[in-house]
Chains A and B, each alone.
Chain A
Amino acid sequence: MVIRAHTKEEIFSILSVIPDPEIPVVSIEEMGMLRDVLITDKGYEVILTPTYTGCPAMGIIEQDIKMTLNANGVSPVTVKLIYDPAWTTDWMSDKAKEKLRSYGIAPPLHSSCNQDVFAHNIIKCPHCGSSNTVMLSRFGATACKSLYKCNDCKEPFEYFKCH
C-alpha cells in the first residue's frame, strides 16, 4: 500500500533534473521523453517514451529515474516504456533547443518532420550562426544526429535530426 505522499507535480519536478545521458545539457523532460506519472495502489509508474527504438541510453534513464525517486523517498517505482504516440522532435521545448544550440548542437528544424527526411534545409551553424554550412555525414555518433561543417567559421558541428 502506498500512502499518497507525493503528487504527480512533485514527481515531475523531482524528475525534471534528470539529464539526458548523451546530451547532459538537456533534461529528459525537456526532450519530451517523460510522458506521464501514474499513481496507483501499487506505487508510482513513470511512463517514458524512447527517442529512438535502439537508444542505448534508455536503460540508464530508467535506472536514473528509480534512483532519483528512491533518494527522494518515493517508492515503489516502476518505469514503463511506451511507443504510442511515437516520439517526435516537435516535443522538444524551445528552451531545450536553445540549450542544444549553445552546447554546440544545431537543434532540429520543426517543420521538416515527416516530409522528405533529407530535404535540403539550411542548417545554421550553432557556433557563429552562419547559414553557409555543409553536411559531412547523415549519421553521427548517436542515431539522432548528423555531422555538419560550417564553411565560415570552419568548425564542425552536429545537427539533431528531425524525427
Chain B
Amino acid sequence: MGDDALIHSYRLSEWCSNAPILEEDLALTNFSLDMIGRAQALLTYAGQIDGKGKTDDDLAYRRGERQFYNHLIVELPNGDFAHTIARLLFTSVFEYYFFAELLHSADITLAAIAAKTIKEVKYHMTHATDWALRLGDGTEESHYRMQKAVNSLWMFTGELFETDEATAVLEDKNIAVDMAVVKTKWKQEIERVMKESLLEVPEDEYMQTGSSNGIHTEHLGHILSEMQYLQRAYPEATW
C-alpha cells in the first residue's frame, strides 16, 4: 500500500501544470501530496518492522523495480484526463473500503494510518466520482473517452483484491483485511457510479497480475529511473 501511494503520487504529480483547468491542476496535485504523506507513513513503518534500519527514503529511492509491490494500475501512464479519472475512481473506491476495514486492524499503527488516510481518500473518491458522472454523462466525445478508459483499465482491477500466503497469515492475526469484503463493496459502488454515469461495466475476462511478486509493466522502470536518479548518481547525497 505504501508503494501504491508513492507510485500513484508520482503519476498524479505529472499533471502539475498540465491539467485541463487550473482547479484540476490544484486537485490532482493535492491528491498527489496526500499520497506522498501516506507513502511516508507506511514506508517508515515498513522500515521499522523490517528492523534493518531502513528509512522511508531508503525504501523509496534504493529499491529496484523487482522489489516494488505497487499494483500495476498505478504505474500505468496517465493517458488522457478520462484515463486518469477512471484510474483514480477505481483505486480511490478500493482504498476507501480497504482502509475502512483496516481501521479494525489488530496492528494499532496500521489502524491509526487508516484513520488518517480514510479522511483524505474520501475527498479523492468524491472528486473522481463527480468527474466520472460529468464525463460519462457528458458529450459524445467525453463519454467515448471515459468508456474507453474504463475498458482498458478493467483488466488491472482484479489484482487489487489478490491475496497470498503472506496476507493469509496476517489476516488470521486480524492484521490484514478480508479482501472478499472489500471486493464486494468495491464492485457494488463501481457498478452504481457506472450506471449513473451511463457507462458500461466491462465483463471480468483476463486479469493482469504479477505485482505481488515484483513483476511489473515496462512503465515502472521508467518512473524509477527518473525518481531515483539523484540517489543513484550521488549515493551519499544529503539535504
| A83 engages B27 (CB within 8 Å) | no
Docked pose: A15 CA to B183 CA in angstroms: 46
Task: Scan A30-60; emit 1 where CB is below 8 A from any B CB, else 0.
Answer: 0000000000000000000010111110000
CB < 8 Å: which of A54, A84, A147 contacts B108? Answer: A84
Q: Shortest distance in angstroms between A62's beta carbon and chain B's nearest beta carbon? A: 13
A50 to B41 Cα, complex, angstroms: 11
Contact of B35 among A54, A138, A140 (CB under 8 A): A54
Residue A73 at the B interface, CB < 8 A? no
Asked if B112 contacts A86 (CB within 8 A), the reply is: yes
B23 / chain A contacts, CB cutoff of 8 Å: 136-139, 147
Number of A-B pairs, beta carbon distance below 8 Å: 67
Known: A53-B40, A84-B108, A117-B123. A138 touches B27 (CB 8 A): yes
Question: How far is A136 from B21 in the complex, measured between Cα atoms in Å?
Answer: 12
Contact B30 A83 (CB under 8 A): no
In the complex formed, the residue of A with least CB distance to B127 is A138
**Can you list the 10 inter-chain pairs with the closest CB atoms, starting with the nearest?**
A53-B37, A54-B37, A84-B112, A137-B23, A54-B33, A83-B112, A86-B115, A139-B27, A139-B26, A139-B30
Please name 30 pairs of A and B residues whose Cβ atoms are closer than 8 Å in the assembled complex, sorted by A.
Answer: A50-B116, A52-B33, A53-B37, A53-B40, A53-B120, A54-B33, A54-B37, A54-B38, A55-B37, A56-B33, A82-B112, A83-B41, A83-B116, A84-B108, A84-B111, A85-B115, A86-B112, A86-B116, A117-B122, A117-B126, A118-B126, A136-B23, A138-B23, A138-B127, A139-B26, A139-B30, A141-B26, A143-B33, A143-B34, A143-B120
Beyond known contacts A54-B37, A84-B108: 20 more, CB 8 A cutoff: A52-B33, A52-B120, A53-B34, A53-B37, A53-B40, A53-B41, A53-B117, A54-B36, A55-B37, A83-B109, A83-B112, A85-B115, A86-B119, A137-B22, A138-B23, A138-B123, A138-B127, A139-B27, A140-B26, A143-B120
